[in-house]
Structure 1
């Protein structure tokens, strides 16, 4: 048992590392969007098109990850996806022309989707073996990686894109040696169910809609926040990552205390209060007269919406596994998690594209979109209500 526990802890560290590196790389790229704009002389509309391309390719990468996991396991898919990210970042870093840079972003987007899907497959598989819910800690690792990425972006603000991105490509390659769950251990989690299961997709779709709204807000803040500080307030280049860093710090703090908040207030109340507070925080951003006040707004938003994503995955697992035996519960949860990640990219699409398209002449208008839409969480929060006995507490 001691050996088994040690092995599980090793796998947990490796999977958490995958989440952390993903957060590091994603934030490192998004905080450099203003630099990409300057280097390649891109308009807000062109940047919007690039973000659309990355989001769509990430969705494709997620679909391919599901198919790949059925054959070689999610650990193999995760390593291939990190290799694609490394290649994409290297291409962007050394690109002599705009088309080469765009090609690099395309490869990066494909790898990003694969990492996102496969890391969640690994996390759920380990959660089954661990015996209790541990998914929020993995999302916290993503946030921690994003915080490190923001700090690095600030420290490396005077470096060229080449000098700042090439080391990140190396970091992606380091993950090839991470102690992930091997295929024979994840086969049950990654493989499709062998028997027909009655999955309540309608309720799971409503939970997914809440996650769409979260990623819409999250992507708007992390992707367009630095551009907003520059376009709306003329903030100096070294300060642009400040739109993202406080947001991530607040998100990380909320996720650290998220389990206790859910126990005290319940998921439904926590989500509804978070939606209202997020709306107010985005209003601060939209109407901010100075960049420090805009940063305060982004911080409020991060603190208010951070638990939506992990609660969404947990709620989907609860709904999928309620009222069935262990074998059927595993089949249901595995089938749901393999597809649930797609809601991520719908939200990313709305956050990146709607914010940029509506705000191409004035980003304040762009941020007004998530400010209004986040309130849709108020009616959706009720679907997160579940009896305590129905919650997943054992593998």
Structure 2
């Protein structure tokens, strides 16, 4: 007998939360990892670049596996790989073991990224209304717990913090959505991911993807470099460097939990445009901050403004793609690659541009976040699983010719 949708929703939310918990547990410990291996800003950028590229490979693996098996199985494998990799990164006794951890975690991260969103999109179609923001809110909640744990264990030896890897192993056994419970094919059966991708309208999906690139550029810059920024640029006490991430995540969580209803009421386009302006203002505050307290305020505003872009991107991409579960899974896995382009810009460019003065590194996302203003029109406001419709008082982009 099939489980109620609420059970699957809780399990998928736990997957998102676990991913956020482990990721933020790692990024808020970057100053400690940096000191442990005597890494420069460019060295940290190299590690982050490796994770981004490996995560992209993991997303491709998820796409290939999802063509043969349910995304729930892919998610379980990804969670276990992420656990093993994170444990190695935090407890490695030697540099080669640390690099092995980076490799395993990167691939696992990509698999979890793609498969959690496959699961969330499939369930959103079943619900027939916007629920992606609250799933990404679960990611933020997990990240919030990760930042809180970092604050609480600031004096604990780095190797002991590898215990955070226990959580993804436990969550791997949750009741994720099986493919049999996913929506029926509305466009004919698809035998493979390649067949599922036929006639996908990639142009409008690309425009939505550019919006997600901007999101991950800003988000990754804040979450990977925020703690280092507080530590080295505005001289925050070492116990409080995680505050670059903690209020950022609190603001993101509040906005994402409210996002389902707000987007249903006002539409995605105006919500995204207002958020872009708020995020830009937050980054102005960060780059001009004379003290660490002001910088924390800037990160908080940035989190509030940028937080709903990613979930609305996945919703829009799945809606534009349409068709069978296999087709949507293939599109979501490929669409997830925009995540890593943004991560590359946010993590690596911020470090490279700011190698002499990290404050300048945040100028890049400050200007690029404003590109969300024209891109917002492509997100539409149609219901999940149904046709797109224009946002209030605005004509939606024409995409029918490409279908």
TM-score over 0.5 for the alignment?
A: yes
Q: Give the length in aligned residue pairs.
A: 382
Is the contact made by 2:71 and 2:115 (CA closer than 8 Å) also made in structure 1?
A: yes
CA 1:195–1:55 in 2, change beyond 3 Å: closer, same or farther?
Answer: closer
- d(CA) in 1 for partners of 2:253, 2:382: 27
Query: Which residue of structure 1 aligns with residue 165 of structure 2?
Result: 169
Offset of residue 316 of structure 1 = 1.7
9, 22, 33: which one pairs with 1:36? Answer: 33
- d(CA) in 2 for partners of 1:150, 1:184: 37
SS state at 2:289 partner: coil
In structure 1, the gaps of 5 or more residues are 322-327
167, 175, 181: which one pairs with 1:179? Answer: 175
Work out whether 1:127 is the aligned partner of 2:124.
Answer: yes
SS state at 1:71 partner: coil
Structure 1 residues 270-279 or 191-200, which shifts more? Answer: 191-200
TM-score by structure 2 length? 0.89
- d(CA) in 1 for partners of 2:296, 2:24: 16
Question: Could you list the per-position Cα deviations for residues 77-112 of structure 1 after superposition, in whole angstroms to 9, with x for gaps in the alignment?
Answer: 111111111211222233122222122122111111
TM-score by structure 1 length? 0.91
Question: Could you list the per-position Cα deviations for residues 302-355 of structure 1 after superposition, in whole angstroms to 9, with x for gaps in the alignment?
Answer: 01111111111122223223xxxxxx3656534422321111111111100100
Work out whether 1:274 is the aligned partner of 2:270.
Answer: no
Query: Which residue of structure 1 aligns with residue 339 of structure 2?
Result: 344
Query: Which residue of structure 2 aligns with residue 59 of structure 1?
Result: 56
Structure 1 residues 67-76 or 329-338, which shifts more? Answer: 329-338
Offset of residue 56 of structure 1 = 0.5
Is the contact made by 1:197 and 1:331 (CA closer than 8 Å) also made in structure 2?
A: no
CA 1:54–1:89 in 2, change beyond 3 Å: closer, same or farther?
Answer: same
- d(CA) in 1 for partners of 2:150, 2:94: 23
RMSD between superposed Cα atoms in Å: 2.2
In structure 2, the gaps of 5 or more residues are 390-403
Query: Which residue of structure 2 aligns with residue 325 of structure 1?
Result: none
- d(CA) in 2 for partners of 1:42, 1:288: 26
Query: Which residue of structure 2 aligns with residue 300 of structure 1?
Result: 301
Is the contact made by 1:74 and 1:186 (CA closer than 8 Å) also made in structure 2?
A: no
Query: Which residue of structure 2 aligns with residue 377 of structure 1?
Result: 372
360, 364, 377: which one pairs with 2:359? Answer: 364
CA 1:276–1:195 in 2, change beyond 3 Å: closer, same or farther?
Answer: closer
Query: Which residue of structure 2 aligns with residue 237 of structure 1?
Result: 238
Query: Which residue of structure 1 aligns with residue 250 of structure 2?
Result: 249
- d(CA) in 1 for partners of 2:265, 2:67: 40
Compare the two structures and name the one with the higher helix fraction.
Answer: 1
- d(CA) in 2 for partners of 1:387, 1:99: 49
SS state at 1:275 partner: helix
Structure 1 residues 215-224 or 374-383, which shifts more? Answer: 374-383
Is the contact made by 1:193 and 1:331 (CA closer than 8 Å) also made in structure 2?
A: no
Question: Could you list the per-position Cα deviations for residues 17-73 of structure 1 after superposition, in whole angstroms to 9, with x for gaps in the alignment?
Answer: 110000000000000000001111110110000000001000100100111122232
Query: Which residue of structure 1 aligns with residue 286 of structure 2?
Result: 285
- d(CA) in 2 for partners of 1:306, 1:267: 13
For residues 1-395 of structure 1, the aligned pairs below 5 Å read: 4=2, 6-165=3-162, 167-185=163-181, 192=193, 194=195, 197-321=198-322, 328=323, 333-386=328-381, 390-391=387-388
- d(CA) in 2 for partners of 1:196, 1:339: 10
Is the contact made by 2:27 and 2:224 (CA closer than 8 Å) also made in structure 1?
A: yes
- d(CA) in 2 for partners of 1:330, 1:92: 35
